[in-house]
Structures are given as C-alpha cells and as structure tokens.
Amino acid sequence: MAVALESLFVAPERTAVGAPTLTATQTEHLAALQAHFGKDGFDLAISEDIDETKRARLSEREMMFLECFLRFLSATKGNLEAATQRLEKAIIWRRTSRMEEVDALDKENIAENFVLGFSPTGLPVIYFFPNRNTLALEDRSIFHTMFILERAIDLMTNGVTNVLLIFNFQGKRKGPPTSPSAARDTIHILGEYYPELLGCAIMQDMPWYIRAFVAVFWPFVDPHTKSKVKFHTGAQAVAAGEIAGDVLLRETGGELDLPYDFDTFWPAFMERCRACRAEHERRWRALGEPQVGREERLWKLPPGKEAVVDGMVAITEPTTTPDITA
C-alpha cells in the first residue's frame, strides 16, 4: 500500500485524554514537586561532568519537560523524595546529553532507526532494525536512540504519553553487534529518565543470541513492563489491535510499502518535528507565565484545537516571556 510520507508524521484524530483523577496524596505530591522546581532561583548543575558549583536556572524547554511529575511518582511508587531526586538527575543528564539540541543529528544516518506512523490509539511508532546498523562501535551512541525517542515525543498529541516500539532483527547483520554494556545502559536510561513511556514493544525475528540475551534479563523485568512486551509477527500485532496493517511496514508484516530512504525521509521528518516543537512552545507560552508541571494535554494539541482551562478556552496569541535562563 502506497501512502504520502508526510501524512505518516501527523497523529490521527482521536478523543483527547482528559485530566487524570488524582488521590489526595498524589495531589499533595504534585503540589510539592511544583513548589520545589518552581521556587525562585531554583537551579541545577549544568552537566554531570562539570563542577557542581556551575549551575543554571531552568530553561523553557526544561520547564516543559517537567510536566512528567506523575510518571516519575509512579516509577518511584509514590516516593516523593525519590521522585524529586530522579527528576533533578534527569534534568542534569538531559543537559549533559544535549537532549534539547534538535539539530544534533540532522545530517547523520542513524542506522535506519526511525519514527513512522501511529497506533490506533495515537502512539508514535518507532522502528528499530538492529541488523541494518552499519556504524562502527566507536561511532555508536545511546544519544542516537534517545534522539529518535525525543522526536517521537515531539509528535505526540491529545494526551498521548506512550510510544510503540517495533524491534525487527530480520536479515544478515551488516555491522558489529551492540555490546551488552550499551544495551544495559540504554535500558537504565529509559527506566531512569523516561519512566512510563513504553506503551508496547513488539519483538520480531529474534536470532538465538538475542533470545538468549532476553532470557538472561527476563526474570529481572517487572511484571508491568513484561505485560507490554509482545513477541508478535505483524499479523499477530494487527489482530491484537496494537497497530493497523495499513500503517505497518511491509518488512515487519504489514501492508505499507515505503522503502526507507534517508535523503527523502529525514528532511520531511525533521521539518514536522520542528513545526510541532514551535507550535508546542507557542501554546505553552500562551497559557500564562512560565511554570513547571503544566500538563501536556493543555499545549500538545492538534492544529486548530485550543486548550480549555477551568472551563475557558485558553488564549492562543504568544505572550512576552522574560529571560528565565539568566
């Protein structure tokens, strides 16, 4: 099935996710996190690798990142102190790893790992083809994986906060395998700094050494995460409702015939991501004075939609914001 590439970067229309129902404890913890990270003069180290006395206040993008209080509280089983420490570490790690530099990989072919299409519930779909990775080991970086994950987050809308991952190991390996230590580091970063982001992971065509690797780690995976990992063919994934056949790539068992071409794909993909980021920033600023903890559902909206705050439509014109990074 042929389809316009650009249309696969636009989230499907769906009912927006409303505000979650919170317990009294959750409400108290959210208020405490907002007070902590939003207090006057709050700052953090500018890097994991630099003297901690070199600090900076939160940028607008970091404030926008800090809509994730509930996910970090969930990951720490409601432990307020642990959630606070993990959030601080996440901000410092993001600064060290340059997570907000959207053009960092603009001209690199990152081993055919890419975002394409959405699940029926609006989750961005990220494809990983490990056997197509031709980069030398010394040129590989966890940043490549995290960069693609960040771009999937850019494309989320209407209250969606999860991704659908498809790992397909078909074909002969074109480069050296990823080391176990790199795999462990990636898993650690995903768990520490991107909690509750995984909606579903589909594993396909795993060779024996990958199955052995999974078998070693599987007993240590928590039941909640295990429930999200599916060892499905394309047909099984479609039958289970995890993804529609017409947006699933043919080489992973779907109907979508769209061979990957970096020079065609990457510019269109990045153009869409930049446009989404600019629109999110405009909407976020339009909601009022800069603040942490502002819910994504209020500013990550489809084109033409506006947020409703306390029963009123939020303003849509940008407001002038002071320099909060000085």
pTM of this structure: 0.88
Structure tokens that stand for 195 in this block: 């909690």
- Signed CA dihedral, 201, 71, 121, 63: sign only: negative
CB-based burial of residue 204 (10 Å sphere; 0-12 exposed, 13-18 middle, 19+ buried)?
A: buried
- Supply the pLDDT for residue 110: 61
Distance CA 222, CA 219 (A): 8
For residue 258, what are the β-bridge partners? none
Do the beta carbons of residue 176 and residue 203 sit within 8 Å?
no
Domain residue limits, the chain: 5-9+104-270
Distance CA 276, CA 267 (A): 14
- CATH for 5-9+104-270? 3.40.525.10
Where helices occur in the chain by DSSP H, the ranges are 24-38, 60-65, 69-75, 80-97, 142-155, 180-193, 208-217, 223-226, 234-239, 262-286
pLDDT tens across the length of the chain (326 residues): 556 888 999 988 777 677 788 999 999 999 999 999 999 999 999 999 887 789 999 999 999 999 999 999 999 999 999 999 999 999 999 999 889 988 776 555 466 789 999 999 999 999 998 888 766 655 556 788 889 999 999 999 988 999 999 999 888 877 666 666 777 788 889 889 999 999 999 999 998 888 888 888 888 888 888 899 999 999 999 999 999 999 999 999 999 999 888 889 989 999 999 999 999 999 999 999 999 999 998 999 876 666 555 433 443 333 333 333 33
